[in-house]
Amino acid sequence: MDESLENQTQTQTLDQENEIVTEGSAAVHGEPSQDGSVPPKVDSEVEVLDEKVSKQIIKEGHGSTPSKYSTCFLHYRAWTKHTQHKFEDTWQEQQPIEIVLGKEKKEMAGLAIGVSSMKSGERALLHIGWELGYGKDGNFSFPNVPPMADLLYEVEVIGFDETKEGKARSDMTVEERIGAADRRKMDGNNLFKEEKLEEAMQQYEMAIAYMGDDFMFQLYGKYQDMALAVKNPCHLNMAACLIKLKRYDEAIGHCNIVLTEEEKNPKALFRRGKAKAELGQMDSAREDFRKAQKYAPDDNAIRRELRAIAEQEKAVYQKQKEMYKGMFVVREESGGKGKSRNWLIMLWQWLVSLFSRVFGRHRVKAD
């Protein structure tokens, strides 16, 4: 961690590793629909794109739409229309997918028609007839789609590369993929400095898409190090944006990905601790901050967060103390067995609360 992470009053900046500070706040960005178990309810106008494809916009995008042979990066959830059986969810997998328009798989023909009408950042509900989906026979492996099933897709276009910019990831060399991801990361950093968090996150997600699991599993040695030097900062930058957008669970998820590769990464521990603290998970947040302090002992931001947790717990203790401060005062005029019994009950409750707090502080929670 560096001084920019410690200073909450400075303008939002990037640190020496092009990772983003977490202090400050921003407008809340709309999350994917509800809990994602059922299709979203959309009341916008239905736009007919094809005889078998129509679209309802959930959130407006920006810029232009992709042209043929553009490489598009997107998240989606997919359901069968009549039974509302969800058969795929890339948000849940935290892995965007890539479609090259005009070269998509047969079962994605309808999805591609919808995506070709969408702008970067746009989210929409697509209605697709079975003829442009999994067809007459359906699909009985993965994903499991019954025969002649009309489909619903909740789609968000993260962004796209125009034909002139390059080629599909599968056709790129290792150096080309890492370079493309790094350019996306830098674009995201510039957008963050302009406080365009939504657009910055789209660039980071596109960079991460270049560094997918199928790609990372093939790397070793210097190429693995080069890829992680791009991929992990993107996850940390995503976490920083998500904390600002108050999407704490998602921020924790991105930090966990980094900690899987680098368990001693102080920034991942710090940002995960920040998110947990916002969720009220104080014991677990304290543990993350203490681990981060172990690997970055001179960082003032970590000390500040630990001090804030201690002060908050002290305030809670003082409040409880005030609640029970009269319990030891025995009023002679209120004597009698009934009053004595009430006093003993209150004393017992106070001791149980104190016992729980003392032992709770030493409890180690799994991350």
Do 179 and 228 share a domain, yes or no?
A: yes
Q: Domain end: 104, 133, 164, which one?
A: 164
Residue 171: its pLDDT value, please? 76
Burial environment of residue 141 by CB neighbours within 10 A (0 to 12, 13 to 18, 19 or more): exposed
pLDDT at 162: 73
User: Is there a domain that residue 124 lies in?
Assistant: yes
| Token pair belonging to 363 | 């409890």
Count Cα neighbours of 111 within 13 Å in the Cβ-side half-sphere: 27
DSSP 30: P
Query: 256 in a domain, yes or no?
Result: yes
The answer to whether position 363 is within a domain reads no
The range of the structural domain enclosing residue 190 comes to: 170-313
The angle subtended at Cα 253 by Cα 13 and Cα 41, nearest 5°, is 100
Residues 116 and 74 in one domain: yes
Question: Residue 244 maps to which CATH number?
Answer: 1.25.40.10
What CATH number is associated with residue 119? 3.10.50.40
CA gyration radius, the chain: 26
Question: How does DSSP classify residue 62?
Answer: B
Q: In this predicted structure, what is the pLDDT of residue 342?
A: 64
Number of Cβ atoms within 10 Å of the Cβ of 12: 18
Residues 6+ apart with CB under 8 A from 188: 200, 201, 202, 203, 204, 207, 234, 237
Given this model, what pLDDT does residue 366 score?
37
Distance of alpha carbon 3 from alpha carbon 326, whole angstroms: 47
CB 128 within 8 A of CB 110: yes
Choose the final residue of a domain: 164, 188, 208. Answer: 164
With residue 77 as reference, give the H or E element that holds it: strand 71-80
User: Which pLDDT does position 13 carry in this prediction?
Assistant: 36
Tell me how many degrees the CA angle 119-121-126 measures, rounded to the nearest 5: 70
> Does residue 210 contact residue 180 with C-beta atoms inside 8 Å?
yes
Task: Report the pLDDT value the prediction gives residue 285, as an integer from 0 to 100.
Answer: 92
pLDDT of amino acid 22:
34
205 and 157 part of one domain: no
Same domain for 215 and 309, yes or no, is: yes
Pair 237, 112 in one domain: no
288 closest CA partner among 270, 303, 304, 300: 270
Looking at 140, 164, 188, which one is the last position of a domain? Answer: 164
Q: Are residues 120 and 103 in the same domain?
A: yes
192 and 132 housed in the same domain: no
Residues 248 and 126 in one domain: no
- Tell me, yes or no, whether 152 and 198 share the same domain: no
- Token pair, residue 278, equals 């916002």
**283: in domain:** yes
Structure token digits, residue 310:
């201690």
Same domain, 151 and 189: no
Q: What is the pLDDT of residue 36?
A: 77
Alpha-carbon 10 to chain mean position: 25
Do 201 and 299 have their domain in common?
yes
Q: What is the mean pLDDT of each run of 10 residues along the chain (367 residues)?
A: 38 40 33 69 92 94 87 91 91 80 90 94 94 92 89 92 63 84 90 89 87 80 88 93 93 93 93 93 92 91 90 77 61 50 68 62 43
| Number of domains forming the structure of the chain | 2
According to the model, what pLDDT value does residue 317 have? Answer: 72
Neighbours of 243 (CB within 10 A): 26
The DSSP result for 142-160, as a single string, is: SS-B-TT--EEEEEEEEEE
Asked whether residue 358 is domain-assigned, the answer is no
In a domain, 180, yes or no: yes
124 phi/psi in degrees, rounded to 5: -150, 160
In this structure, is residue 118 part of a structural domain?
A: yes
CA-to-CA distance for 280 and 313, rounded, in angstroms?
Answer: 11
Q: How many CB atoms lie within 10 A of CB 83?
A: 9
Residues 201 and 301 in one domain: yes
Examine residue 227 and state whether it is found in any structural domain, yes or no.
yes
